[in-house]
Amino acid sequence: MKRLILVSVMIVCVVLCFSISKAENPETVLQIIDEENIINLMDASGVKAAVIANTEGLRCIRVAHNAPDGSWILQSSPWMGLPIWLNELHSNDEWIELEYDLQEEELFVSICLFPDENGSWYLGKLNGRLLRRDVPYIVEVIDFHPDNNDDFHYGSLQISLALEDVNFELLPPYTGVFNMILDPDDWACVHVEGAILYDAPDGETIAVCPLRVAGRVIEQTDQWTCLQIGSPETGLKGWYRTDDLVFGEGTEYVVCSFPSYNRDVFENLDSVFPGVDIETDENSTRLWLIGKCPDGRWLVQINVDTVALADASAFTDIGPTKHDDWHY
């Protein structure tokens, strides 16, 4: 009897182990069928991802993340004709790196997927440019200079960044062509050096501004345009003379002239902007001196969301804007 019980227990354990192994097998989790072939695979503890080819020569990306209840939640991209592959050496639970190489056009494109707080995956980086879902423009994070915004491409995204929806074949692989996936019509920027930012039409001067101060157009007359600079919660709303601005795609061709400054100020952000909640990540914190106020203070755009005032003494070694020499 004891032997029978022992054998039964062993059988149950083997069955359970087999079930667990089968349930977490990447091909099972990613729902690979006979007509499909895995090109390459990333098998991490909480995420399994693969580029898969079908019999028609098309490829798709499938990603499964482990839910709190132990189940696997699967996402899959549309099928595409791109020769895309997954860089499993650079991929993990926190990001997935995809690449493709169009040799006839001498193009090498790098794409990164990132999960949100629920584990759903979204396109987040294209050739080093960070695609933001929470703000309506694309930000370069590799070849930017933090003292200017030349590498910001303004406009509302016209594509979905969700893995299930994004058409990788429509993504622009070159710098400067992001208007293919952006609608810039609601945006404008300063194109006259020394343009004045007012608190109202013919009102009080807020600041005298350099080139390429940019914002979303929220109100307009023949002579005046109101821009929202930064977010409505922590940014600034102000008025420019309409002739001092360019609109839509014209923002791409204005070269920034925000003055540069001594970078040591980043070590003392709390004292420079007391009471202001600032993101301190180097890749998302910029201090653009977007205007000089009548009382001598600087009007500063701290990041994509926040505008604040800083004392004139907060910045030293003020000089001409620095521009990057690196171009794709």
Range with the lowest mean pLDDT among 86-95, 96-105, 116-125?
96-105
Q: pLDDT of 233-266, one tens digit each?
A: 999 999 999 999 999 999 989 999 999 998 888 8
- pTM for this structure? 0.78
Q: What is the pLDDT of residue 20?
A: 43
d(CA 300, CA 215) in angstroms, rounded, equals 14
DSSP code, position 297: P
Tell me the HSE value of 161 on the side-chain side, using a 13 A CA sphere: 26
Q: Which amino acid is at 2?
A: K
Q: Which residues contact 161 (CB under 8 A, 6 or more apart)?
A: 122, 123, 124, 131, 133
Residues 256/274, Cβ–Cβ less than 8 Å = no
Mean pLDDT throughout 293-299?
A: 97
d(CA 82, CA 102) in angstroms, rounded, equals 9
Q: pLDDT of 5-63, one tens digit each?
A: 544 444 444 444 444 444 479 999 999 999 999 999 999 889 999 999 999 999 999 99
Give 177-180's long-range contacts (Cβ < 8 A, gap of 24+): 178/129, 178/138, 178/153, 179/153, 179/155, 179/249, 179/252
Q: pLDDT of 138-197, one tens digit each?
A: 776 555 677 888 888 888 888 889 999 988 888 877 655 777 788 899 999 999 999 999
Q: Which amino acid is at 60?
A: C
Backbone angles phi, psi at 293, to 5 degrees: -80, 160
Residue 107 has pLDDT above 80, yes or no: no
- Biggest CA–CA distance in the chain, Å, is 98
Higher pLDDT, 75 or 175: 75
Q: What is the pLDDT of residue 174?
A: 67
The CA-atom distances, in angstroms, between 96 and each of 17, 101, 154, 222, 256 are: 29, 17, 26, 48, 33
Q: With cut-offs at 50, 70 and 90, classify the pLDDT of residue 127.
A: confident
Residue 214 has pLDDT above 60, yes or no: yes
Cα–Cα nearest to 209, from 289, 273, 102? 289
Q: pLDDT of 298-325, one tens digit each?
A: 999 998 889 999 999 999 889 998 886 5
Q: What is the pLDDT of residue 21?
A: 41
Q: What is the pLDDT of residue 11?
A: 46
Tell me the HSE value of 247 on the side-chain side, using a 13 A CA sphere: 12
